[in-house]
Structure 1
Amino acid sequence: MTEQRVQRRLAAILAADVVGYSALMQCAEEATYAEFERLKREVIEPGLSRHDGRLIKTTGDGALAEFASPSAAVRCAVEVQESIASGRSSLTLRIGVNLGEVIVGADGDLFGDGINIAVRLEGVANPGGILISEKVYSEVEGKLDIGFEDRGEQQLKNISKSVRAYAVRSGAHSAPIDRLSAAPPLPDKPSIAVLPFQNMSGDPEQEYFADGIAEDVLTTLSKIPELLVIARHSSFVFKGQVRDIREIGRTLGVRYVLEGSVRKAGNRVRLAAQLIDSLNGSHVWADRFEGDLDDVFELQDRITQDIVAALEVRLTFGEQMRVWRKRSGSPLVYEHFLKGRSLYVNFAKHTHAQARSELERALAINPAYTPALSLLGFALTDQARFGWEKDEATTYEAALECAARALAVDPNSDEAYVTLGYTRLYQRRHDDALAAGEKAIALSPNNAGAYHMAALFHSYDGNFRKAAQYEEQAQRLSPLRRNESMVDAARAKFHLGDLVAARDIASRVLAEKPRWLTAQSILVAALWNLGNEDEARIMIRKMLANHPNLTAGRWAQRLPYRHQKDLDAFVTPLRLAGLPEGE
């Protein structure tokens, strides 16, 4: 009996997949399914036809296709992504393209590493982007009107050998394919990102200390108007990762990247830092600093002063006094503060209580330590507005006292002004909140958090256009991990009547945080007003499953709108979609 011969051939394989599909299905099942079916019918399949591609198979959230040439596969991928970016779909795709030998099954299906590598490349592509293998690159480079970024060797899941990959950039000026997540352009002034410092102490418990050192350097730099400084929420995304500095610079839209290490032993601290030009990977400046824990603030200021000098930024005497003001505090105060800050960002009732305890310990030693005062005021406001403290009015007043004490010590504390505005907002003192937000931005023009909070104040005051503008600036200063800004940008878009944008932005946030009540409520309101009433009702049922005591009345009480008409515009769709009236 003659063995059947295995048929093989060389093929260019395109693998595409919807970003966050499972979470989107949880949020709006029918709408997501219908949108992907429309995307396949109106964009993907016509694109395959134009470039002589063959659809191998589709899954619930993706497609696999074969092309006779790598050029055709890449042209098709570019066309599909540009069509989506132009508004043809609210979904976002990742695409991987590979050239390799495949096994042809009896039914025409394809198998083998040629397929697997394309699928794995798709999995590590940027949302909205295209990643191709080195084999594809060697065939198409110089033949198409597109550019490429070398992403280096990729260790792909279940693929034994690493694969060199290239990201596709298209157009006459090599603009990114993935416009929704496109790298921001470099600004016309020095720009910098501070990466989390490596903990060299050998004690994992000191991780918060190393993070705190880097964040304080970042905070000091952010007060300098002549710089653009990326927020912690974006630069700290790279913690624990080994990435090319050039790639980090492109992703964040900055020219310079600061990295460093911290070694803490007993009462001694050693800091090492280096400033790198992300355009070519060259070192602009590097130095080591050593001292006692009592000197830690001075060491941080020496780093920032050297960075400013290396970037040839000149400060006036008044700016120097404001940026490098004398700070007081003992090592123990600083450690309590860093622990409190790391607990606060977890944002839960018990971690807020723990954070409050650590901050109060810091202030018991040094009652004039302004960072602890400002953050304690924020924590108290949260505890009051979420009902975690029974005496709401007294807790708000305690938060205001923290802000006042901080401003008495340092009248130029942007953190204190943000705390003041935050508390005033939930006291319904909107004019005071707006003034505090504008003051914080003036004092710290690189503070993404200040722009986000000022946007929040303007949004609840009814100036939704201003809120949207400020959220855009917050997102530029924090290109990654920008969910808070995206949620409030979605709210502003809803009130401005851009319901599709509100729906799409809220859906993107929920793809990462599927139980975020604020994002869910914005999605419901947008869906209902768009006429997708069944999807809105499904989302309300999911909200109630997680929050069985939620009512329209209770939700409305938590939203500090200045004008009843704005509150009604937002809450009425929730009521109509099935949120119980309640209190």
Structure 2
Amino acid sequence: MTGRSGIYSVRLMGAFRLLGADGNRVEVASRKAIGLIALLATGRDGERTRQFLQDKLWGSRESSQAQTSLRRELSNLRKILADEPEPLLFTEGARVRLNLPKIAFDIPVPGAANEDERPEPRGIAEFLEGLDLPGEEGFEDWLREQRALIQAQSSAWEAPGAYDPAPPLPVHLVDLTQPAPGFEGRPALAVLKFQNQTSDPALDFAAEGISEDLIDQMSRLRWLPVIARSSSFSQDLATTDAKQVGQGLGARYLVEGRLRAAAKGFQLAISTIDSENGQVIWSERFGLPDSLSNESLAPVLNGLTAVLGARIDHAEQSRAVARPSTSRDVNTLIWRGRWHLNRMSRADSRAARELFDEALAREPENPEVLVQAAWSMGWNIWAERISPEEMGVWTRLARRAMQAAPEDGRAHAVLGAAEMFQRNNAPAIRLFRRAIELNPSLPQAHAFIGSALNLAGRPDEAQGSLRTSLRLSPNDPFVFHTLGELATSYCMSGKWEEAVDLAEQSLIRRPGYWLAHLVKVNALARSGEAKASKDAALQMMEQCRGFSEADIDWLPYVDPDWNGYFKEGLRRALEGCETGTP
């Protein structure tokens, strides 16, 4: 849609664009401002109440904060448009409205400057393509409904068969054999339109909606390029083989799904395919309730996102390790570092850090390198119980990672971990919660909230977050840590049997994990199991060579009495004293 003299032009189909009254492009960088314009454009007479805009765009904030944010966004828009001859919007008390007679849209808007004109062909363009407001569920729900409405109306705007699908873009414009720019050579993922196999055509929208929601969720991983819905939904593995689909989308990994009826509710069958060789690298079935509501689907999608991210991460680590060791590009260094980190030995931890240090030396401002280097340093500090000076280096690195990747939940989580280990629990928990707003499927952030609450002496509150982390990533290589933290919370709450069970589950996965041993010893000693606690203590000393009470002192409890609590339990066990609940 081109600009016209004296009239603004707003494009809402595909990537948002605003042309000023002079025909020149007006840059609107704020996603909230774009959302605000779209909300007004779809309102009656181009008008919405302030409360409606606050609920949709800042619903996750307190009312006073939402009011301030709306005022600031409106003020910023006015500044951007200060040189325009006509105002774009008006504020009238509790209402905000667009100057519709002075605006042409690419969708039908009653009262707009071009309301009598037929919309231009939109092909496979999507309404507000690529716009995502993490944490603002009200806006996401509205956006989903608006897209469905526009798709339903499209038959009235375009005659059937009037527009043939466009041919693929020529290679000189976009080479799909090359990685997506901005993702450091990492492979792309495409979520294909899920198939409705329930025999009820009315559920077509549900199958498609689930796949669309999964695209939104996967996009929040940040480190993984995700192909837009408008492209991935145009492909079908039923008629084209995986290699061709992958080449056509420029995606290495394809996700397909099938919604089926079950004895109770529905079943969602998911498969992830490596398009280069056609192999299924992961498949699973999930039970869904009858309602298929947003509330019931949210935990399933969060868990699915976490598992998919972990599976693709593992696949890429395996590829990197299989490459010749002489390959030293930054992306290979990152994946090799991740592979070593997941081996969880001290030697591998040091090897990982060396690889991330090399990547950091090559590209010191690369957001992914900063995030991965900060994660590596954090696990190294946990494994080695490193000095406060090293903790400061970690905090500075984590802060650089967050500054380089402010929309990446992992960066917020790793900075939160650095703050937590310095006993700054309140800011740490805020950072973890922000990480979850950005990526609800980030299991580490949920686990860290549990750890922070344990360290703050609030174990009963910690258990919900820790169980959420387990639900999101039950097969994570570091799940032993989450199980150990959950065991700690039960031990601190005086629930000895549960603490022992969880500690043993942690030790099955990591026999040398000293904290799980310590919790098991304490729970047995404090429950009166003198012989069992002494045996467990001796086993701990055998498995954890080099352990001392200084390791317990290193744990950053806000109240040091908890450090004393765990030391006392260990002493009781070693002395073989029978004691009851303290």
Shorter-normalised TM range: 0.3 to 0.5
Scaled by the length of structure 2, what TM-score is found? 0.45
TM-score (norm 1): 0.45
Q: Say which structure is richer in strand.
A: 1
